[in-house]
């Protein structure tokens, strides 16, 4: 292995510059976040006493804590636990992932299932921590970014956006040429993903001599989406600022003035340029308003967060030394020797293998706590419908086990199911080293409805014909939603459907064109009296009745926004709802396009501690 040196003072300078640039960009873009028009900013729209709070940095402080707590073998499983313990954000994909995690799901399934926001910017904005703890090792940074992003973006462009930025930022430690850095980043994402296509188109338009305003318009024409947080367009805006900017100020202003998810685009570009230029290369007029402080959003809580950028930088470096050693990078941080990092663009076969993992399955290594060289690898696949099951319903699961040890493994697999359910008999297994077997099982639920169900897989190892050891792997299935639906011409008496998530499945009564009036009815079970925000997000005119009273009547088409915290105001209703079962009736007028309706029971703004608009996981849509 070739040994490379990273001088510790160089390490400090690059990391501190990155965090400082992150604060500058986030403070610039936050006040105009979500504005879709071309902007004309020339400085901070608000001059704060220190930086503005921003989830772009908040979440990375939690990841720093996670690295300190769990060490370099950190995976999406531990990061998911960090979400539950320390993050109380309801925003878009964050809210959906937290709902899944609270129900007992784990990544990547938790980041994919029932999540309409997995193509968005929530993960590309938190790439820097992985680059900074894997300096000069872009493949390692991209691997961590994958683990992170799949917690709340699995199967979507958000994963690729974070991997792109993490590999670019890690490569800054050995390469400062802009074009070469972008080339490196593109190596670590699929060539045909929307993010890669948007960036490559932008590079071509820049080479063809289009000015930045023309390039912005082309990005929106070819890669734009109505949701301002959609990742490919915003990642392209970030790169646009870098390509067209004459200096730090001009670059972050151009990125911000593209509009859309401005705190994200400006913060990421600010971090990239801060890493390249170092703190001494950032203009004083931009540095002085933010200073050295770290400001944390109130819903991020319960761990020792850094108080300033110096502490954040030193703690980042301390973890980075562990990561470089644990991943056998051959990079040594030295207090005196000069930096001699070489171009380290590794083969990406292992990264491609991560892209190709199905998002419908979870992977476990045994014995528990193993991060490499396990005895047994176990993969649980929930199937295309994901981890949902209705009342009195059967579900197919596939469990694949592979012997990763060097000896014959004999044992049995068994499945624990909830009381009243039926499940399979135990499966006796005999596996030679490297051998795999798949166990296809069917479970059937009872008539008892729950928001989630706890099951467990048991691996019992035999030796000399006797039980030698046992491993138990708990997992969850979530309660599906039961609706009766009617179409414009079909199902006079209604058809009962089971919907895996919050989206009503109209296929059973549609005739292909989805034109006309569609109706749906369910019973919403509420275990205790509470304040409720009932959301019926739709891409068509919709009305909703609660216990026979019309509470939502939106007869126009508005932006489809199935978010807990920012639905269209015409498609939500807030009420103090008594305990018990309540009838919900939906009527929607299909316009001919794919009809999307999400019905969501969430908390209101008024909560006893920071963390508003969270999903009520104990409320159920039942027969």
Q: Which residues pair with residue 485 across a beta bridge?
A: 495, 520
Structure tokens at 102: 């609270």
Do 29 and 357 meet the contact criterion of CB atoms below 8 Å apart?
Answer: no
SS3 state of residue 221: helix
Do 441 and 449 meet the contact criterion of CB atoms below 8 Å apart?
Answer: no
| CA angle centred on 474, ends 469 and 479, rounded to 5° | 155
In this prediction, residue 490 carries a pLDDT of 66
Q: Can you give the length of the chain in residues?
A: 623
Show the domains of the chain with their CATH numbers.
Answer: 4-350 (1.10.4080.10), 360-478 (2.60.40.10), 481-622 (2.60.120.380)
ω into residue 437 within 30 of 0, thus cis?
no
Strand-pair category, 331-334 with 4-7? parallel
CA 171 to chain centre: 23
Give kind and range of the element (H or E) at residue 215: helix 212-223
Structure tokens at 502: 């919050």
In this prediction, residue 344 carries a pLDDT of 77
| CA angle centred on 103, ends 101 and 109, rounded to 5° | 50
Residues near 148 by beta carbon (within 8 Å), at least 6 away in sequence: 63, 76, 79, 123, 126, 130, 162
Give kind and range of the element (H or E) at residue 515: strand 515-526
DSSP annotation string for 403-417: E-SSS-EEEEEEEE-
> b/e map of 361-394 (b: 16 or more CB within 10 Å)?
bbbbbbeeeeeeebbbbbbbbbeebbbbbbbeee
Q: Which residues pair with residue 405 across a beta bridge?
A: none
In this prediction, residue 238 carries a pLDDT of 98
Q: Rounded to an integer, what distance in angstroms lies between the CA atom of residue 60 and that of residue 27?
A: 16
Exposed, middle or buried by CB within 10 Å (0-12, 13-18, 19+), for 58? buried
Q: Show the low-confidence residues of the chain (pLDDT under 70).
A: 1, 346-347, 490-491, 512-513
Exposed, middle or buried by CB within 10 Å (0-12, 13-18, 19+), for 189? buried
In this prediction, residue 349 carries a pLDDT of 78
In this prediction, residue 586 carries a pLDDT of 98
CA 292 to chain centre: 29
Exposed, middle or buried by CB within 10 Å (0-12, 13-18, 19+), for 333? buried
495-552 pLDDT per residue, tens: 999 999 999 999 888 876 678 999 999 999 999 999 999 999 999 999 999 999 999 9
- Of 623, 382, 609, 408, the C-alpha closest to 521 is 623
ω into residue 164 within 30 of 0, thus cis?
no
Strand-pair category, 4-7 with 495-499? unpaired
- Alpha carbon separation from 344 to 1, 134, 170, 190, 265 (Å, rounded): 12, 12, 10, 19, 27
Rg (CA), the chain: 25
Q: Rounded to an integer, what distance in angstroms lies between the CA atom of residue 26 and that of residue 45?
A: 12
Do 131 and 166 meet the contact criterion of CB atoms below 8 Å apart?
Answer: yes
SS3 state of residue 229: coil
Q: Rounded to an integer, what distance in angstroms lies between the CA atom of residue 370 and that of residue 488?
A: 55
Q: Which residues pair with residue 42 across a beta bridge?
A: none
Structure tokens at 280: 């001494």
User: Hey, which bits of 555-596 come out as E strands?
Assistant: 572-577, 580-591
- Of 223, 234, 193, the C-alpha closest to 355 is 193
Exposed, middle or buried by CB within 10 Å (0-12, 13-18, 19+), for 422? exposed
| Residue carrying the six token digits 């694949």 | 400
Q: Rounded to an integer, what distance in angstroms lies between the CA atom of residue 27 and that of residue 275?
A: 17
Helices (H), 291-386: 309-326, 349-355
In this prediction, residue 491 carries a pLDDT of 63
DSSP annotation string for 123-160: TGGG-HHHHHHSTT-HHHHHHHHHHHHHHHHTTSHHHH
Do 79 and 148 meet the contact criterion of CB atoms below 8 Å apart?
Answer: yes
In this prediction, residue 434 carries a pLDDT of 97
Strand-pair category, 388-389 with 466-479? parallel
In this prediction, residue 594 carries a pLDDT of 86
In this prediction, residue 591 carries a pLDDT of 85
End-to-end CA distance of the chain: 63
């Amino acid at each position: 292995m070739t040994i490379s040196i990273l001088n510790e003072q160089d390490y400090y300078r690059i990391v501190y510059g990155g965090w400082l640039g992150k604060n500058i960009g986030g403070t610039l873009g936050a006040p105009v976040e979500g504005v879709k028009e071309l902007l004309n900013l020339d400085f901070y729209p608000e001059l704060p006493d220190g930086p503005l709070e921003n989830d772009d940095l908040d979440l990375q402080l939690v990841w720093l804590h996670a690295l300190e707590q769990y060490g370099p073998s950190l995976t999406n499983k531990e990061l998911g636990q960090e979400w539950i313990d320390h993050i109380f954000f309801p925003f878009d994909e964050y809210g959906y992932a937290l709902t899944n995690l609270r129900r007992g799901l784990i990544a990547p399934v938790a980041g994919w299932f029932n999540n309409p926001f997995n193509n968005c910017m929530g993960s590309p904005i938190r790439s820097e921590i992985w680059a900074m703890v894997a300096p000069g090792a872009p493949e390692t940074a991209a691997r961590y970014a994958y683990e992170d992003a799949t917690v709340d973006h699995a199967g979507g462009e958000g994963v690729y956006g974070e991997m792109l930025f993490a590999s670019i930022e890690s490569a800054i430690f050995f390469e400062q040429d802009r074009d070469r850095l972008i080339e490196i980043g593109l190596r670590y994402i699929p060539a045909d993903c929307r993010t890669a296509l948007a960036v490559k188109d932008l590079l071509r338009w820049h080479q063809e001599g289009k000015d930045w305003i023309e390039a912005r318009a082309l990005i929106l024409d070819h890669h734009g989406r109505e949701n301002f947080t959609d990742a490919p367009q915003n990642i392209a805006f970030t790169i646009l600022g870098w390509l067209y900017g004459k200096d730090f100020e001009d670059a972050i202003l151009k990125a911000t003035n593209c509009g859309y998810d401005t705190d994200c685009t400006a913060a990421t570009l600010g971090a990239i340029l801060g890493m390249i230029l170092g703190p001494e290369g950032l203009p004083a007029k931009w540095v002085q308003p933010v200073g050295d402080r770290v400001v944390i959003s109130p819903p991020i809580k319960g761990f020792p967060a850094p108080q300033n950028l110096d502490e954040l930088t030193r703690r980042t470096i301390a973890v980075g030394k562990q990561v470089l050693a644990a991943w056998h990078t051959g990079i040594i941080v030295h207090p005196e020797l000069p930096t001699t990092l070489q171009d380290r663009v590794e083969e990406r076969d292992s990264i491609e293998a991560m892209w190709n993992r199905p998002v419908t399955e979870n992977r476990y290594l045994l014995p528990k706590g193993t991060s490499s060289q396990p005895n047994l690898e176990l993969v649980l696949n929930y199937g295309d419908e994901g981890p949902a099951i209705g009342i009195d319903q059967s579900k197919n699961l596939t469990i694949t086990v592979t012997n990763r040890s060097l000896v014959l493994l004999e044992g049995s697999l068994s499945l624990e199911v909830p009381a009243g359910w039926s499940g399979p008999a135990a499966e006796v297994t005999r596996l030679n080293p490297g051998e795999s077997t798949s166990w296809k099982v069917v479970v059937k639920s009872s008539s008892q409805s729950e928001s989630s169900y706890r099951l467990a897989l048991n691996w019992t190892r035999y030796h000399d014909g006797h039980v030698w050891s046992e491993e138990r792997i708990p997992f969850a299935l979530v309660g599906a939603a039961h609706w009766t639906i009617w179409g414009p011409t079909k199902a006079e008496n209604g058809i009962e459907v089971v919907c895996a998530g919050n989206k009503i499945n109209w296929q059973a009564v549609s005739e292909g064109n989805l034109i006309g009036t569609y109706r749906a009815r369910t019973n919403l079970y509420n275990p205790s009296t509470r304040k409720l925000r009932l959301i019926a997000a739709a891409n068509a005119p919709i009305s909703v009745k609660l216990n026979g009273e019309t509470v939502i009547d939106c007869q126009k088409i508005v932006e489809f926004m199935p978010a807990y915290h920012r639905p269209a105001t015409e498609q939500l209703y807030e009420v103090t709802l008594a305990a018990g079962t309540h009838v919900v009736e939906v009527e929607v007028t299909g316009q001919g396009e794919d009809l999307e309706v999400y019905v969501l029971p969430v908390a209101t703004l008024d909560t006893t501690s920071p963390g508003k608009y969270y999903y009520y996981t104990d409320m159920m849509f039942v027969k």
